[in-house]
Structure 1
Amino acid sequence: MTGPPLETELKLDVDVQDGSTVYESLITSFGRPTAHHHLISTYFDTTEDHLWHAGITLRVRRDGRRRIQTIKVEGGKAAGLFSRPEWECDIAGETPDLDLPTAGLLTKLADAEITADTLQQVFTTDIARTIWLVDSEGATIEIADDDGTITTKGRDEAIHELEFELKKGTCAALFTLAAKIGATVPLRIGVRSKAERGQALRTSDVSKALEAEPIALGKDLTTAAGFQAIAGGCIRHYRLNEGLLLEATDSETLHQCRVALRRLRAALTLFKPILRDPESIALSDRLRTAAALFGDARNIDVLIDRIADPKLLATLTERRKAICAELLSAIGADNFRALMLDLVRWTSVGCWLSEKDTAEKRHQPITAFAGHVLDRYQRRLNRRGRHLARLSDENRHKIRIVGKKLGYAADFFGTLFAGKKARRRRQHFRQAITALQSELGSLNDETTGAELLKHFTPLAVPSKADAALAASSKNQSISRAADAYEMVKDIKRFWR
């Protein structure tokens, strides 16, 4: 059997209420549509979700009189740009035809017996699709404007998205075309396939903030490919939570958005040896400015958690509403949406991928690069953390930043060191670095909270008893942080 066609597409999310604006913009830019389709797709899996856990989707799509069976290998979690092997074949009925040669892949890939008796319908999508075929920058691109719903047992979700599928040419043309449309209508980078949306709808709380997903790096990756996987995972983490934040600014969703951007900034620092070109530096500066938008809101959330006085709590809550309103306005602005698209374009086809000065480092195995990075930040933490208990608040904060980057590096690169001993050491290392970050984080929160509180209670003077209690609590945290530092310094390295 020959290899499957590789589908390459850029996915962009559209707010449902902006659907008519998007359609009008496409008409203005590209004229009458090439085609209209009403697509009803039914997705199938076993009761134990064998296909989904194996990264496979199986659907039967009804398009007029046609019935099309599709198998897709979902692969890694993507951010905007999706490249997936897929097999398509016309069939006669509404249920999967497992006699087709390609259907034999299901049992092989899922490592489970896939038969008609084991399959069930899990969700459906009902999509009105309008298509334009566009020639741009020497490429041929199919633009699909998809508007419809996903339905599973007892639940449904409205969706509207644009898909730019590359039919001929280079990926760079996808981003140029997307930026052109994004300049006239509000678009956001899409990070979930319809299959993933349907799976989330049927199995999880779609309104709950999401932590970062594990990033599985293969040892055969180059350093450049490893960075692309890590950056894509961070962007995906942010976008999954940004959609929730736009609906409700709860503290945990806001925190996860901030963490995602902080992880992405850390990745840019860790991979700085291959990101020295002007475009990378400029994007890093834009990302730093964007991440700073979340700082005030997160600081006031931390302070609110520590306040018991009802009157002060009410004042802080009102201030939080104002800060969150400013934040939502900022992330809804054109330049912020453009930043997310630019980040995906840059990681995929940016100038850093063709810089001669960094070519050798880009092409080296990711495992070698990871070991050097972990060694470098471990040495930096060991050096700066000496005499931690006697350092100033500012210098302890600097140690916290180094420790945070070391912790992120351990998360990013952890799967590269997969032996039994390495896994055990990594678990111990993560426990130690987490304990250090927890104590240093608490100290930083106390310092930041005290400064912020002065703006709301400028004349308040703590009693001697309260001051003594606060000093005692701080000293205990410093002592625990010093102990945690010694543990991190002395623990065996999982990457060696």
Structure 2
Amino acid sequence: MPMEIELKLRLSPTQARRLQAQPALSGHTPQKYRLRNTYFDTPDFELRSRGIALRLRQKGWAVWLMTVKCGASGAGGLAQRSEWEAPTKPGVFDFSIVTDDALRVFLESQHSRLQPVFSTDFTRTAWKLSLAGSVIELAFDRGRINAPGIGGTSASVSKPLCELEIELIEGESPDALFDLAIELATELHLHPEIFSKAERGYALADGTLANPVKAFASNVNKEMSPVDAFRSVALSCLAHLQRNEAGAVAGENPEYVHQARVAIRRLRSAFRLFAPVLAVDFVNVYSPRWRELAGGLGSARDWDVFLAETLAPLEEAFPEDADLAVLRARGETTQAKAQAAAGVTLKQKAYSQLLLAFTAALFRVGPPTIEAQGKASGMGLRKFATRRLQKRAEMIELLVSEHAKMNAESRHELRIAFKKLRYALEFFAPVLPQKPLAAYQTSLAKIQNLLGTLNDQVTASSLIKEMHPKGERDLVTRGWIAGRTQLLIKALSSELRKFVAGKKPWS
């Protein structure tokens, strides 16, 4: 099955003007030609729902090509997709080139329903380079994506296109693609692009911004080594982050920032979970960088929760309270600043470079030493998962034994321990017995919700103090928080006893 392996990188027109002067392209003469592409789908977007892109391409004035791609763009800008392409004539689809039997039968069954959905029109400047035993093509595309408008009834819409594609022409490893991209990114601001041209075209055609995306289900399997499992988990976390970054930058919905923070938190948890089988230098370099980025997203989520879950019920109960009105005004001002700061962080060159360098490192990471490599190779993923999950469960049991003497700080420590266990269970889920896992996760989720709400009360108190440091106001709010905290602590005690007594799904 033909496979397309390429890096897709976004850049600004200003940066694009500096591209040809880069040392990596010195002495190489590019080809330049125009590409007009029309993408086709059924009226109900059946191809889109199956992750299929179908286009007819006019290269220059005389050459026509039909292309079928299957699979989504990957994290960090790296896409590895099945692709079939062959010469054709205008308006002619010949699906005999598709070697995947099920896909070919499906496309042939939809032939009569196909219609144009959107188009791209751009000039491509392409260099062919030989690097590290591989042949790659660096293509700079500049033009526009065009769509007829929602439902075909409104005016046509258009969006600029300015990006690099670095494709592996000969070779098997993506290393050469990353090496060139990282070299170019030292001088240019190149951002790994997770959305393909087809995905952006569809979004333009139906007038929608992608909804906030939650974490993806784990794709690990029992045949993977622990290191391979970490790579799969980390790439999934990167995809989770990147699917939310555009919305976080736009700042219209706080859920995008929240999901971006969750993605980074899950990735950092994976570092700790898989640390025994990862190269020490890899962990020492990248774990601190992701921690720093998490801090750069700031306190936006804290303000979202305070305004929506702590303040809103109080406003409903006491609509005339002047202190609450002051808290609302100050809170919304600070929330807007925090949201803007998070968006700025995700627009920085340092973030783009981290995505690129970390994705490259993921494909090269191995065990910490030769001795550890031998130990890891002899340990299946199920055994590794059992050991790591048991260690996390034992930490929770130790903390729970001290619950009667807990304060806000120690409950926060317990919350973090439960969160680590939850992420570990989600990462290892495909290699664990499913029925006991579901029951265990349900019990865990109840406790995590209680601990999370308790933590929100502590955070709310801190935010109120930040706005009114002398404590001369907000008696209603403080009383509400204190009373709710006591009720939550009582409910938590009961759930913790049930959880500790429950059977572990990895036993």
TM-score normalised by L of structure 1: 0.87
The equivalent of 1:197 in structure 2 is 200
Q: Distance in 2 between matches of 1:21 and 1:467?
A: 52
**Structure 1, residues 260-309: CA drift from partner, whole Å, max 9, x if none?**
11111111111111224223212101111111122422223333333352
Among the aligned pairs, what percent are the same residue?
Answer: 28
Q: Distance in 2 between matches of 1:370 and 1:182?
A: 37
Q: Distance in 2 between matches of 1:110 and 1:281?
A: 50
Describe how 1:33-432 pairs up with structure 2 within 5 A. Answer: 34-46=30-42, 51-64=47-60, 65-74=62-71, 77-98=74-95, 100=96, 102-103=97-98, 105=100, 107-108=102-103, 114-154=109-149, 156-168=158-170, 170-202=173-205, 205-206=208-209, 208-248=211-251, 250-305=253-308, 306-307=310-311, 308=315, 309-350=324-365, 352=366, 355-360=369-374, 362-363=376-377, 364-417=379-432, 422-432=433-443
Cα 1:95–1:214, aligned 2, differ >3 Å: closer, same or farther? farther
Count the aligned residue pairs.
483
Q: Distance in 1 between matches of 2:29 and 2:209?
A: 33
Q: Distance in 2 between matches of 1:270 and 1:376?
A: 10
Describe how 1:455-470 pairs up with structure 2 within 5 A. Answer: 455-461=466-472, 469-470=480-481
Contact 1:13 1:161 in 2 (8 A): yes
Cα 1:337–1:462, aligned 2, differ >3 Å: closer, same or farther? same
Contact 1:54 1:110 in 2 (8 A): no
Counterpart residue type for residue 400 of structure 1: R
**Structure 1, residues 113-165: CA drift from partner, whole Å, max 9, x if none?**
63522444444333322212234445432111123333445255433221111
Q: Shift of residue 201 of structure 1?
A: 4.6
Q: CA RMSD in A?
A: 3.0
Q: Shift of residue 76 of structure 1?
A: 7.8
Cα 1:69–1:491, aligned 2, differ >3 Å: closer, same or farther? farther
SS of the residue 2:451 aligns to: helix
Cα 1:48–1:330, aligned 2, differ >3 Å: closer, same or farther? closer
Cα 1:416–1:202, aligned 2, differ >3 Å: closer, same or farther? farther
SS of the residue 1:10 aligns to: strand
| Structure 2 gaps, min length 5 | 150-156, 316-323
Q: Distance in 2 between matches of 1:453 and 1:312?
A: 8
SS of the residue 2:76 aligns to: coil
The answer to which of 154-163 and 250-259 deviates more is 154-163
SS of the residue 2:161 aligns to: strand
The equivalent of 2:8 in structure 1 is 11
| Structure 1 gaps, min length 5 | none
1:448 matched to 2:459? The reply is yes
Cα 1:25–1:238, aligned 2, differ >3 Å: closer, same or farther? same
Aligned match for 1:484, one of 479, 495, 501 = 495
Cα 1:195–1:130, aligned 2, differ >3 Å: closer, same or farther? same
Cα 1:477–1:231, aligned 2, differ >3 Å: closer, same or farther? same
Contact 1:59 1:70 in 2 (8 A): yes
Contact 1:429 1:494 in 2 (8 A): yes
Q: Distance in 2 between matches of 1:463 and 1:245?
A: 31
TM-score normalised by L of structure 2: 0.85
Contact 1:25 1:184 in 2 (8 A): no
The answer to which of 394-403 and 150-159 deviates more is 150-159
Counterpart residue type for residue 133 of structure 1: K
